[in-house]
Structure 1
Amino acid sequence: MAKKRPEGIKAYNEPAGGWGALKAVAETLARQQVVAQGTATLLKANQPEGFDCPGCAWPDPKHTSSFEFCENGAKAITWESTAKRVSPDFFANHTVSELWTWTDHELENAGRLTHPMIYDAASDRYQPIEWDDAFALIGKQLNALESPHQAEFYTSGRASNESAFLYQAFVRAFGTNNFPDCSNMCHEATSVGLPESIGVGKGTVTLEDFDHCDAIFSFGHNPGTNHPRMMTTLHEASRRGTPIVVFNPFKERALEKFAAPQDPIEMATFSSTEIASAYHQVRTGGDLAAIKGMMKLIFERDAQDIANGGPGVLDLAFIDEHTVGIDDLRRDVEKTSWEEILHFSGLSRAAIESAVDVYLNAKKVILCYGMGLTQHANGTHNVQQATNLLMLRGNLGREGAGICPVRGHSNVQGDRTVGITEIPNAALLDGMERAFGFRPIGDKGHNAIEAIEAIAEGRSKALICLGGNLAVAMSDPTVTFAGMRKLDLAVHISTKLNRSHLLTGKTCIVLPCLGRTDLDTQASGPQSVTVEDSMSMVHASRGFLNPPSPFLKSEPAILAGIAQATVGARYGIDWLGLIENYDRIREKIELVFPDFKDFNKRVRVRGGFRLDVPASYREWRTASGKANFLVACGLDEDPRLKDPETLVLATMRSHDQYNTTVYGLDDRYRGVFGRRDVIFISGADLDARGLKEGDRIDVHAITETGPARSVRGYTAVRYDLPQGSVGGYYPEMNAIVALNHYDHKSGTPAYKGVPVKIVRSEAA
């Protein structure tokens, strides 16, 4: 007789996608009360004359089908276009103290914000405020700071190019470079690591390259949940026989088998396609060891082939002409022992041998990766070693080959391209002077970690958030929440209510903005905005729905209002004139960034245009003028992991959420329904601790300094994981991630490499 599993835990054996995805879309439409409108909205998603999905940044194909949305994209779209409203009456009926007791899901599920609101401490409620009064108050308080550097300006990846550019122009005119943004928390290791390696902080491939590659290597990402439209690309590659080699501690269902909702045969026959040709369950944090193991074997096989009279397996022509540093890399790899590689990777030598066989048999290889590589204390090294692996065989800068960081929000890459960075380079400063007549300061500002540290220590006293849910997204909520409650000024530009809005300091203002699906009308008429996808394609996005309230403003209009009230005519910038027609903003973008030449003309071409990525054609804008083989000494991400009793926890998203937004309580592909209070752990690790599935457990972070961090009373779920690796949901698990636990090269929090101990719950 099978053992009874914990409540809400049951096997899910269906493929990803397919009828399960269509059913979930229908249920989402019904829950958000937008069945008729929602269906019409979805059909305009990711279409040339429609709007860009506010979800992931996977690119649109050149020839779109009748529907270019996925299950989680549909959730994001209907979540935004919901019929539910959060009006002044809502706040009159609910105090902030009461709302604090609501779950994150309940807060956002309340609906779209309809009016600008300001917190009133006496009544513990948000109350309406006029737009002009809000702008004036914000400007007054920002100008009252002792220094502009006492303010932090956060950006979510959902902001358009126009919003982000206007934002950075305002903040630099105000006088600081404090730009914490969501990229700091996800792919900053890419933005820092790739420029050192190949001279550009972006991927080098296009969507069409996937049609020509001979093999795809996938490290540390779950496309079925976090960027599901990628599954169409992987599905097509698998069907034509392209090997797809996966390295991931978790066996993600979409990378095992997938049924394409657009494939009539699979839908009619309830069949599916196997995606991964090989699935290597590397230990959490063991990717660096696995990659070094592959390179070690490649060097060994190269030497062996040469000894046997062959030419070797390295692309010497590429290496000699285009790279430097291979001798240092070879020495580092050769001195790394197989004992260390197998221990830290958790893989057998046979598994690594099989991956190398695929790699060497392929002439053109694409390597994709997600936050499973970047959100580690050695995240930058992980990215650079993955790049080294490609360079050994010349798999950069040619058709069907290259590196493909798979980013999250639909414009997180674009925001950085148009100036959201705390480290402005000379080209940006020159461009700002050219476009606006003033030269911003060049000092380094704060990234996300540094911003929270400054807020917690009282050095920063004001925070403006362009979208997002910063407090919940950040690590160490104890420190983060307490710091934000001390702020003199907090301003949140948002479509929906979230927990960050409830961390009220002296003055807290929530400004409701239009979403991607909403019609944006300014003085010159309806406007479009632009976004950049993961493969550097820039295209227009046009909302069409009537806004949920006549009191909403667009993000650019809100930012222009704040800028006018704060810096005014200090540099002769016509802030309000810029938003009358967004073409004017794009003209300024073109002046600052020459890659956007003829911006307004090119973005009106169906499908948009691709920005210049020099590494795509083997031009290396590095200090050496070459692509650099870089060394990452050692394999041990964290010395605390040497204790055999210590486990490494990775935070993850469920299939019913996107970043901090929780749409519901199901994680269908992992067999979790109606709950999130679970810890995934292998049977071997349960047995070693005298535990069994269903036991209530406490998770304690292994800390060297600072307060103890724990989550208590979670339910153990037996899961197919490598021994030593455990998983729990983000953002709940942020409670055990110390603020100082991050990659010190990039500032990326190590959300996927948290040393922990697990014991039976004291409350059990």
Structure 2
Amino acid sequence: MSDKPDLEGVSTYQGPAGGWGALRAVAKALSGQMAIGRETVALTRMNQPHGFDCPGCAWPDPKHTSSFEFCENGAKAVSWEATAKRVRPEFFAANPVSSLWHMSDYALESLGRLTHPMAYDAATDTYVAIEWDEAMRRIGAALNALPTPEAAEFYTSGRASNEAAFLYQIFAREFGSNNFPDCSNMCHEATSVGLPQSIGVGKGTVTLEDFDHCDALFCIGHNPGTNHPRMLGTLREVAKRGVPIVAINPLPERGLERFTSPQDPLEMVAGRETELASTYYKIKCGGDDAMLKGMMKWLLELDASDLSHGGKGLLDRAFIAEHTVGIDDLVADIQATSWDAITAKSGLSREEIMHIAEIYAKAERVIVCYGMGITQHAHGTQNVWQIANLLMLRGNIGREGAGICPLRGHSNVQGNRTVGITEKPDDNLVKGVEKAFGFTFPKKHGNDAVAAVRAIRDGQSKALICLGGNLAVAMSDPDATFAAMRKLDLAVHVATKLNRSHLILAKQSFIFPCLGRTELDVQAGGPQSVTVEDSMSMVHASEGTLEPASEHLRSEPWIVAQMAKATLPDTRVDWEGLVGNYDRIRDKIEVVYPIFANYNQRIREPGGFRLFVGASERKWLTPDGKAHFLVGRGIDEDPLLDIDHLTLTTIRSHDQYNTTIYSLNDRYRGISGRRDVVFINAADLDANGLRHGDRIDIEVVGPTSLGSDGQVRAVRGFTAVAYPIAQGTVAMYYPEGNRLVSLDSHDEQSGTPSYKSIPVSLKAATAAA
């Protein structure tokens, strides 16, 4: 162990979320991309009627937008896309892929916008420019040379519009593949699987207006200051009404604690801030299921006490009787769960859990918001069930001011799923596609993200088409994932910027530059708009106005259509007609999915329209028409509980969105210029004989401790940062921590990788590190 601590770039941030720090960060982001005028024009049109949708988070737009309806991280996303920097063919000619591989992920994306379609040339180890027609011809030939259509994987990023995603799934289905690994598989798949089993729909039940009427708000396992910053304005308004906001998270997050609104001149000038969470409990990572059971256990005890004293009880028995099944099994499971087990697993005391439950019990209208701190666990689907169970006990689903609110990440990840990006097609999709296009396809389930990587690794899948994203870096187990993807016959990446996935070479590799959200999309029928769906099922139009970064850019719908035409000689789809006018795509979406009735008319209304969400109206689209109380496996099901370990969770920095790194800073956590840090409770440092600033190794323990090379999964030489995180929990940045997550570590029901429940041990760094 070194006697000299490594604390460069490590400090303590004292300010609120937002405020002058946010404005300085926006100014720096804009100046850093050297396109001040272009970016500023774009910002004035972001999240506005007849403007474009933020490329960042999926928080909904208010009905009455302000002049500047964007947040700090939204501004960063725009500056990243509207940058003046360009990556031209000359750059690729001067930089072999083998040299580009040694650049950091941050440096690769910082190079700027891609300008030309490119194909890899093995003789020179470089990407070279290629004409669109020739590229499509080669891709079509490669796909048709596969032993079976099921040997192709079709990945989708949440950035894709409804129109692009819909055409993409039609292309894949007509080709004969249901393999749709997508970004949902790595974040909220537990929601998409768990909520339909419980309430009949894999989406949240609340609207933005419900936050005006709730009288308690619970925020579990999410960080709004970084991952959905526009939510801070909503939290501020809820707090100003005197509504209790209960935050439950392993780390203290500034965006849950206090906020100064940059759009409030008086607050900014006076240096005022709004206190957000009235109650903040730091739960042990992976303890949410136990905490939720504890809340329900105390609620049941309060209910029984009230009944014994002549009251009507605290449960909504009329709602339970009319709308639900399974209450008896849930109650039996909760009563069989001991308080000792609950407190040990959650890291919270019985008194703390009782306090949280009493806030819930006293409120008439409760909203529970949750993020990937709930879903990215080996029991993520079960966590989602328990939130729904808690809400249903008091009838807090399907009425004003109450409901469940999963916080989606990317701006159209929910919309992609709505228009058919799923590896599990049902009868309605099969019949809808036949009605709209005249062809049928098998209903056999395809591959999700984990299954896709395994299929590529095992030689079953030979082609990977990526509609956006950075799949290889986003996936767990990069050693196994990178090695697998180097076995591919074909890799196609549709992107705005260069990333590491583009450098993992197949026998044939292509990079296609596409239009971004901010840019003007002109097709045969004139300028086009696309549509997106936010976290609350609102669908609205998005129309870019900026001059494209290059004359060679094409829209995602156009690129998909050209690949389809080159691959499907006997296609039943009028690809040219659909791409010529996106209204025609929306007409077809409406045929396949009747919930989009009058699609083109309704997206032309300011603010768009909300899709039907049955549970919002207490219409349960389950097989028996009832909402279901669902019982998990118990809180002690984890076989690693008997192993002496800490639990590591991966997190995003404040200057990060998914795998995109805007800078090496993390302002709210006091980190600047680096990402090689691990946040650890001081008591856990002491227990391991370590100190603040020590260089340490983080090693996986338990059944998944060995990688594919037979070596211990480890990240070595990182710096330990003493931090007020829950004891027993440590945190490091994503995707740096992905190396610690095995492909086998995932939720069995949803396939979501366990990025937030990694059993680890800590020790002083080895000399080699």
Q: Distance in 2 between matches of 1:741 and 1:637?
A: 14
Q: Identical aligned pairs, as a percentage?
A: 64
Counterparts of 1:701-740 in structure 2, within 5 Å, are: 701-704=700-703, 706-707=706-707, 708-740=712-744
Task: Answer whether contact 1:376 1:637 (CA < 8 A) is retained.
Answer: no
Contact map agreement 1:96 1:124 (CA 8 A) in 2: yes
Partners of 1:377 and 1:637 within 8 A in 2 = no
Q: Deviations over 1:324-371 (max 9, x none)?
A: 111000000001000000000000111111111211111000000000
1:613: which partner in 2?
613
2:264 is aligned with 1:260: no
What does 1:271-282 align with in structure 2 at a 5 Å threshold?
A: 271-282=272-283
Is 2:597 the counterpart of 1:593? Answer: no
Q: Report the secondary structure of 2:541's partner residue.
A: strand
Letter in 1 for 2:728: G
Aligned to 2:244: 243
CA contact 2:494–2:513 (8 Å) conserved in 1: yes
CA offsets 1:171-200 (integer angstroms, 9 cap, x no match): 000001000000000000000000000000
Q: Does 1:756 align with 2:756?
A: no
Whether 1:342 aligns to 2:346 is no
The residue aligned with 2:67 is 66
2:284 equivalent in structure 1: 283
Task: Map residues 484-563 of structure 1 onto 2, 5 A cutoff.
Answer: 484-563=485-564
**What is the one-letter code of the residue matched to 2:610?**
R
> Secondary structure at the residue paired with 2:64?
coil
Cα separation, 1, equivalents of 2:539 and 2:264:
28
Aligned equivalents of 2:315, 2:435: Cα separation in 1: 46
Q: Could you say if the C-alpha distance between residues 703 and 97 of structure 1 is closer, same or farther in structure 2, counting changes exceeding 3 Å?
A: farther
State the shift of 1:5 in Å: 7.3
What is the CA-CA distance between 1:570 and the residue it aligns to? Answer: 2.8
Match of 1:301 in 2: 302
**Which of 748, 751, 763 matches 1:747?**
751
Structure 2 equivalent of residue 187 of structure 1: 188
CA–CA distance in structure 2, aligned partners of residues 633 and 388 of structure 1? 14
Aligned counterpart, 1:421: 422
Alpha-carbon distance between aligned partners in 2 of 1:305 and 1:549, rounded to the nearest angstrom: 69
For 2:234 and 2:569, the matched residues in 1 are separated by 48
Letter in 1 for 2:687: A
SS at 1:698 equivalent = strand
| Unaligned ranges ≥5, structure 2 | none
How far off its partner does 1:641 sit? Answer: 3.4
> Does the 8 Å contact 2:5/2:694 carry over to 1?
no
Aligned-partner Cα distance in 2 for 1:511–1:322: 50
Letter of the 1:587 counterpart: D
Distance 1:110 1:382 in 2: 40
Cα distance, 1:638 vs structure 2: 2.7
User: Is the Cα–Cα contact under 8 Å of residues 641 and 648 in structure 1 kept in the other structure?
Assistant: no
Q: Deviations over 1:615-649 (max 9, x none)?
A: 001000112211100001211363213323x0100
Q: Residue type of the partner of 2:192?
A: S
1:121-159 Cα offsets, whole Å, 9 max, x none, are 111100011000000000000000010000100000000
TM-score, normalised by the number of residues in structure 1: 0.99
The one-letter code matched in structure 2 to 1:594 is P
Q: Distance in 2 between matches of 1:667 and 1:87?
A: 31
What does 1:661-676 align with in structure 2 at a 5 Å threshold?
A: 661-676=660-675
The answer to whether residue 687 in structure 2 is matched with residue 683 in structure 1 is no
Query: Per-residue deviation at 1:677?
Result: 0.1
Map 1:478-489 to 2 at 5 A: 478-489=479-490
Tell me the amino acid that sits aligned with residue 107 of structure 1: L
1:703 Cα shift? 4.1
Asked if structure 1 preserves the Cα contact closer than 8 Å seen for 2:325 and 2:627, the reply is: yes
Code of the residue aligned with 2:628 in structure 1: it is N
3-state SS in 1 of match to 2:128: strand
Q: Is the counterpart of residue 165 in structure 1 residue 166 in structure 2?
A: yes
- The answer (yes or no) to whether the contact 1:620–1:627 under 8 Å persists in 2 is yes
Task: Give the partner amino acid of 2:727.
Answer: Q
Q: How far apart, CA to CA, are the structure 2 residues paired with 1:50 and 1:177?
A: 34
Q: Is the 8 A contact 1:614 1:621 kept in 2?
A: yes
Q: For residues 157 and 255 of structure 2, what CA distance do their matches in structure 1 show?
A: 27
* In structure 2, C-alpha distance between the alignment counterparts of 1:65 and 1:244, rounded to whole Å: 25
Aligned mates of 1:104, 1:340 — CA distance in 2 = 42
Which amino acid counterpart does residue 159 of structure 2 have in structure 1?
A: R
What amino acid is the match of 1:456?
R
Letter in 2 for 1:61: P
In the alignment, structure 1 residue 699 sits paired with structure 2 residue 698 = yes
**TM superposition shift of 1:219:** 0.6
Residue aligning to 1:625: 625
Question: For 1:123 and 1:493, how far apart are their aligned partners in 2?
Answer: 22
2:206–2:403 CA contact under 8 A, matched in 1 = yes
Task: Quote the residue 2:642 is aligned against.
Answer: 642
What SS does the corresponding residue of 1:579 show, helix, strand or coil? Answer: helix
Match for residue 207 of structure 2? 206
2:58/2:411 contact within 8 Å kept: yes
Give SS of 1:410's match.
coil
Q: 1:110: Cα distance to partner? A: 0.2
* 2:324 aligned partner, one-letter code: T
What are the superposed Cα offsets for residues 627-679 of structure 1, whole Å, 9 maximum, x if unpaired?
100001211363213323x0100000000100000000000000001000000
AA at the equivalent of 2:720: A
Question: In structure 2, what is the Cα distance between the partners aligned to 1:565 and 1:202?
Answer: 36
> How far apart, in 2, do the equivalents of 1:555 and 1:118 lie?
18
- Do residues 121 (structure 1) and 87 (structure 2) align? no
Task: Confirm or deny: 8 A CA contact 2:17 2:258 kept in the other structure.
Answer: yes
For 1:380-391, list aligned pairs within 5 A. 380-391=381-392
Q: CA deviation at 1:264?
A: 1.8
Query: Could you tell me which residue of structure 1 aligns to residue 229 of structure 2?
Result: 228
| In structure 2, C-alpha distance between the alignment counterparts of 1:368 and 1:11, rounded to whole Å | 28
Deviations 1:527-583 (A, max 9, x none): 000000000000000000000110110000000000000013332x11122100001
Counterpart CA distance in 1 for 2:397 and 2:293 is 19
In structure 2, the residue corresponding to 1:531 is in which secondary structure? Answer: strand
> Counterpart of 1:312?
313
Aligned-partner Cα distance in 1 for 2:76–2:636: 39
Taking the aligned partners of 2:231 and 2:295, their CA distance within structure 1 comes to 26
Report what 2:176 is aligned to: 175
Aligned to 1:651: 650
Secondary structure of 1:713's counterpart equals strand
Question: AA paired with 1:575?
Answer: W
Instruction: Look up the SS of the partner of 1:530 in the other structure.
Output: strand
Aligned residues: 760
Q: Matches of 1:753 and 1:367 in 2, distance apart?
A: 22
> How many angstroms apart in 2 are the aligned matches of 1:745 and 1:5?
42
Kindly state the Cα deviation for residue 4 of structure 1 after the two structures are TM-superposed: 7.9
Amino acid at match of 1:500: S
**TM (normalized to structure 2)?**
0.98
C-alpha displacement of 1:9: 0.4
Stretch deviating more after TM superposition (620-629 or 222-231): 620-629
Is the 1:285–1:637 contact (alpha carbons within 8 Å) kept by the matching residues of 2? Answer: no
Q: Distance in 2 between matches of 1:14 and 1:614?
A: 42
Secondary structure of 2:580's aligned partner:
coil
| Secondary structure in 2 matching 1:126 | strand
Structure 2 residue matching 1:550: 3-state secondary structure: coil
| 1:252 CA displacement | 0.2
CA–CA separation in structure 2 for the residues paired with 1:689 and 1:637: 26
Q: Check conservation: 2:247, 2:280, Cα contact below 8 A.
A: yes
Query: In 2, distance between residues paired with 1:551 and 1:726?
Result: 46
| Aligned residue in 2 for 1:138 | 139
